[in-house]
Structure 1
Amino acid sequence: MAAKATAVMVDADGREVRVSSAERVIFPASDHGPEITKREVVEYYVAVADGIVRALRDRPTALERWPKGVLPGMTLTARDATHGRGPQGDAFYQKRLMRGMPEWARSVRVHFPSGRVADELCPDHVAVVAWAAQMGTVTFHPWPVRRADVDRPDELRIDLDPHGATGFADAVREAEQVRALLEELGLRGYPKTSGKNGVHVYLRIEPRWTFTDVRHAAIALGRELERRSDRLTTAWWKEERGDRIFVDVNQNARDRTIASAYSLRPKQGAPVSFPLSWDGLAAVDDPMAFTLRTVPDLLASQGGDAWADLDAQPHSLEPLLDLWRADLERGLGDMPYPPEYPKMPGEPKRVQPSKDRRNKQG
């Protein structure tokens, strides 16, 4: 037990971060490898400093904290720690600033759809990331905005989520549809593994449009993808998706976030959401190729972050908004928001289709 309480100092690009209970097991031994300690989690984030800071820099970031470790039987509560009541499960989402935040860490106030507000951490140095990892953070969930303007996203995020009998290989294949469509519109997307079975594609945009505009652009993109492939769907209700890849357009709604590039995911073996080139993604057959133990060496062998130039050329959203306007002329409007959102302007009826039919029959 004494070893579990050992504290060590980790150098994070010139700043010392104290890691308490450094030998606490965060990921137990599994078929994917030996156990992983808290110290190793912190040291991993220091090792991928350039990539993780690029992904998080100046972004309000929710922290997915597993302070007891990602152990069998642990639960992740759906409730976030923003209500002043503390965590409600073994793991939880931390949106408000934690006590003991280093004086050199920065934050910004964000507004949620509910009308509540919170001051969220805005990492701008790997020491901030290391400190959050020391506090039990496994996964970082940044907003698609920067600290300078929290109401104008600079990122459109495309989440390809396998459903039914589909899996990772299907998501990789359908990501080529995303690539082709974006290139036709003069846009460049950047793919990464989700760290689970999906694929994410990011589009850097000029911070000129609202969350609603960006979500509408994502809806239009998803609908155009549906027209091109019967293996893709934007159906919000699971009963309508079948064995298809779900294009989750609601990941672009305010306060919906995706695990950042280089984030660990709370699964056996500590998989990583890993950025790739398009050719690199096409060559991947197992997302577990990218883990805490493999990623630092992979970065060294491939010459660094595949997303190093992500910020170099922000795009206009207008090509996608043109698709949205064309859909409006076809009579296609908005889509349902997630259930925790208040009724949104222009949103259609938010009722599960099978239940809606029963109501009509009644």
Structure 2
Amino acid sequence: MKGSIMLDKRLGYGLALVFLLVAPHFAYPLFLMTVLCFALFACALNLIMGFAGMVSFGHAAFFGGSAYIAGYVLASYGWPFEVGMLAGTAAGALMGMIVGVLAARRTGIYFAMITLALAQMMYFIYLKAPFTGGEDGLQAIPRGKLLGIWSLKDDITYYYVLLTYCLLGWALIVRTVHSHYGQVLRAIKENEARALSLGYDVTRYKLLAFVISAALSGLAGSLKAVAIGVATLTDVQWTMSGLVLLMVMVGGMKTFVGPAVGALVIITLQIELDNFGHYLADVTQIDWFSRIGVSIPMVTGLIFIASVLLFREGIVGSLKASRHRLQRKGARHHG
């Protein structure tokens, strides 16, 4: 049965990869790039939230802050695209190190509140810093050329480059969780006191996970800033931290693809809700539906409540649980 499950996983991953490769030829590339960036962002948060038990309310600081850094070095200094991504990722890791050193020794709500407070401090720094453009944002961020040869101005070309970066980031998360280090992280999540009694440096393990998560969040923010050509304060606000937290919970914590599914659901909702509202208004002749597009926070909140009540393990987590129940019933029946 374990071999069958592994075969199903590989088949699922293969089909998903094929879909991602052909998707830009059938869907709007910029929409797909936005989904991929938030998918990587959500998976990065899930690394510490789902597998290490650390709930961060301040990951927007790494996502948006790195977008500013990458955008600034690309727009002002004309650095190569790869160096810009490296600068954004390094900035995320550095910010994660600073926040992690101050927060890693805390647990539960205390950890969450420290990350939120430090993220808000960073928000006001970005608001006043001269290189960020303040409320106007950092604009006209160039895509440049890949390896100084291939132009990234074409959306489909940049999509495949972005997809490669996101898949590499996702692969790093999977490898980290499946490593010995990842098993220790899970042990810390399940019983931190026992892990400490076994001689593990719990704080060091948690800090490293937080830095990896922050670095990948920074990479996601850098890729998004270059994709749309602008970095704004929206990406560093506390609401962005709440949004990515929602993506993880809707898709499913403790899963590798759940946060990506949650990102797809939430981003699609944000973009298509207004169109869907107008469609309902035309069909039902109820004018109220045409104004549903301005109620995205309310609808998002309702989805969060519904996911908590109906899908406590998220979409992917609930599907996996249902599949396991069916497999157990089948095994008992054949037995």
- Higher RCO, Cα 8 Å, sep 6+: 2
Task: State the TM-score, normalizing by the size of structure 1.
Answer: 0.28
TM-score normalised by the chain length of structure 2: 0.29
* Structure number having the greater helix percentage: 2
Greater percentage in strand: 1
